[in-house]
Amino acid sequence: MSDIHLSRSHALTPEQRVQVMSALAQYLTDTLNAKVEHKTGHLAFKGKGFSGHVALDHCTVEGSVRLGLMMKPMKGIITKEIGKVLDQYLGAS
């Protein structure tokens, strides 16, 4: 397995944090067909060929994704896409 770790700072309000985590859980479920466990400020997910977690507190978001053997060659592309989506949701330019 291959790991991806990302971290970003943010200035989201508590309401925005709830919205972002709910949107992420919905995306993981609907688009990637992942099983998601959603608790306040934390998501754990598992799908075919990947698993991971995301933690969102008052000033940072940290996430980790573990890729299976078949997805390992796409690690760079996946890392870049996750970073773009994080920046979009967190309001970075």
pLDDT per position as a tens digit, 71-92: 899 999 999 988 888 888 787 5
With respect to residue 53, please indicate whether it lies within any of the assigned structural domains.
Answer: yes
With respect to residue 90, please indicate whether it lies within any of the assigned structural domains.
Answer: no
pLDDT value, residue 15: 93
With respect to residue 45, please indicate whether it lies within any of the assigned structural domains.
Answer: yes
Question: How many structural domains comprise the chain?
Answer: 1
- Does 34 have pLDDT greater than 90? yes
With respect to residue 91, please indicate whether it lies within any of the assigned structural domains.
Answer: no
Q: What is the CATH number of the domain that holds 11?
A: 3.30.310
Structural domain for 78, as ranges:
2-85
**SS3 per residue for 19-74:** HHHHHHHHHHHHCCCCEEEEECCEEEEEECCEEEEEEECCCEEEEEEEECCCCHHH
With respect to residue 58, please indicate whether it lies within any of the assigned structural domains.
Answer: yes
With respect to residue 68, please indicate whether it lies within any of the assigned structural domains.
Answer: yes
